């Protein structure tokens, strides 16, 4: 089965072409099965079984959302309302979602996560990472990952999200890096730790990540969201694919990221929803750090599945250029997941792309809040 995406006014390739995004005009893209087979001027487009007319509008690689927490029950709208009325965010509300998640059946959890994946897809996301972290028992964490696995290949064990109420922290860390990790590893590609004030400290984070690495999992860290701390340094030292949040960084943290393969994943939805200062994206970009943008979709601190919204925030509030923000939301996310088959539209790439109802990627930030995604192809299938 071949598909020709024809009459593309502006194609973001993240390859050869103009600027950071490799923009090319008056193009077509041919797809064979689940891969990009040909990219070139529309006048030279090959024949195909099916033709999708982009009507002169923009086509981009599908967004790669490398940080999301989708396996949970309930919501925390009341907490959000209280926070907007002046109550500070502490992370303690996670326990509210843990109670609701443990009480929910598999069907309810899978339906809710599936709803969010579909919601993200309609907004152009073709790859989404899904973390556990609202179960916090061996059985509930393993169940969360088993369900997440039905929706994404990018699954992350986050038993170290918060110490459950009434549990000794030391005993909990031993459980996470022992029995819980062993039960979850078969369903997980990654292991993550919330290393921050009120969460897990340096020694605990190191112990859990090292145990995960020994079982063959890749590493990610929730780092430096609430305060400056050891998270970013540890992420770099242990070879993590990504340090996420990076809101409070020392100069040494920035230098360490710049000299590493660790991506700084910025999550502006979290700062928006907690009314907190944004990370300094310019400082990271100017130091040469690879930056990704992701939603951090979760019911407490960032209940959005919208990559276009995060792009708009990054441009308006983190002073990223529109090109930098789109790059971070595509290639950046792919690097944060150590994937080279997504995030770009070179020949051989996975056929994940988004057709906009707008003539340029610039409109993603220029027209915030407007549903500009008209068609999404994932693995060469229109969804």
Question: Binding site annotation covers 298?
Answer: yes
Stretch binding Zn ion (CB under 5 A), from 199-207, 253-261, 289-297, 312-320? 289-297
Residue 23 forms beta bridges with which residues?
A: 12, 18
Residue 67: CB minimum distance to Zn ion, A:
6
Backbone angles phi, psi at 229, to 5 degrees: -170, -165
**Is residue 296 annotated as involved in ligand binding?**
yes
In contact, 199 and 162? CB cutoff 8 Å: yes
Assess contact for 40 and 15: CB atoms under 8 A: no
105, with CB counted inside 10 A (0-12, 13-18, 19+), is exposed
- The DSSP string of 258-278 is HTSS-EEEE-HHHHHHHT-PP
When the beta carbons of 297 and 365 are compared against Zn ion, the nearer one is 297
Q: Are 326 and 21 in contact (CB under 8 A)?
A: yes
Residue 222 annotated as part of some ligand binding site: yes
378 annotated as belonging to a binding site for a ligand: no
Asked if residue 14 belongs to a known ligand binding site, the reply is no
Q: Which is nearer to Zn ion, 58 or 221 (CB)?
A: 221
Closer to Zn ion by Cβ: residue 13 or 274: 274
- Per the annotation, does 245 bind a ligand? no
Q: 241, 192 in Cβ contact below 8 A?
A: no
Cβ at position 296, least distance to Zn ion in Å: 5
Kindly tell me which of 253 and 296 has the beta carbon lying closer to Zn ion: 296
> Based on the number of CB atoms within 10 Å of its own CB, is 346 exposed (0-12), middle (13-18) or buried (19 or more)?
middle
Is 67 part of any known ligand binding site? yes
Q: Which of residues 290-309 bind Zn ion (CB under 5 A)?
A: 296
CB of 222 to Zn ion, least distance (A): 5
Task: Single out the residue of 122, 24, 151 nearest to residue 355, CA to CA.
Answer: 122
Q: Mask of contacts with Zn ion, 28-67, x by CB under 5 A?
A: ----------------------------------------
| Minimum CB distance to Zn ion, residue 48 (Å) | 40
CB of 57: closest distance to Zn ion in angstroms?
A: 33
Nearer to Zn ion, 10 or 296 (CB): 296
Q: Given the rule CB under 5 A, which residues bind Zn ion?
A: 296
């Amino acid at each position: 089965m071949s598909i020709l995406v024809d009459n593309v006014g502006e194609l973001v390739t993240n390859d050869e072409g103009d600027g950071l995004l490799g923009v090319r005009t008056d193009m077509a893209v041919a797809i064979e099965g689940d891969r990009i087979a040909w990219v070139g001027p529309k006048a030279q487009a090959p024949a195909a079984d099916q033709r999708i007319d982009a009507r002169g509008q923009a086509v981009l690689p599908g967004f790669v959302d490398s940080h999301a927490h989708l396996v949970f029950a309930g919501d925390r709208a009341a907490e959000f309302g209280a926070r907007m009325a002046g109550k500070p965010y502490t992370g303690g509300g996670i326990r509210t979602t843990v109670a609701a998640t443990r009480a929910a059946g598999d069907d309810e959890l899978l339906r809710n996560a599936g709803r969010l994946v579909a919601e993200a897809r309609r907004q152009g996301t073709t790859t989404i990472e899904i973390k556990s972290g609202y179960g916090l028992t061996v059985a509930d964490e393993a169940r969360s990952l088993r369900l997440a696995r039905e929706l994404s290949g990018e699954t992350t064990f986050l038993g170290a999200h918060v110490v459950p109420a009434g549990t000794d922290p030391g005993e909990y860390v031993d459980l996470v890096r022992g029995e819980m990790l062993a039960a979850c590893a078969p369903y997980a590609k990654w292991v993550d730790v919330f290393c921050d004030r009120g969460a897990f400290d340096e020694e605990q984070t190191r112990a859990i990540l090292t145990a995960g690495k020994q079982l063959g999992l890749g590493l990610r860290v929730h780092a430096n969201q609430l305060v400056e701390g050891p998270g970013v340094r540890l992420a770099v030292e242990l070879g993590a694919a990504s340090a996420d949040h990076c809101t409070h960084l020392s100069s040494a943290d920035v230098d360490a990221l710049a000299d590493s393969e660790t991506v700084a994943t910025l999550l502006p939805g979290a700062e928006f929803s907690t009314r907190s200062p944004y990370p300094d994206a310019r400082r990271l970009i100017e130091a040469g750090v690879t930056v990704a943008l992701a939603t951090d979709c979760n019911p407490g601190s960032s209940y959005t599945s919208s990559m276009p919204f995060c792009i708009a925030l990054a441009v308006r509030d983190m002073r990223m250029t529109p090109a930098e923000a789109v790059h971070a939301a595509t290639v950046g996310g792919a690097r944060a997941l150590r994937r080279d088959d997504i995030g770009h539209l070179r020949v051989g790439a996975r056929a994940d792309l988004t057709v906009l109802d707008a003539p340029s990627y610039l409109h993603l930030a220029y027209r915030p809040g407007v549903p500009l995604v008209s068609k999404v192809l994932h693995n060469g299938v229109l969804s």
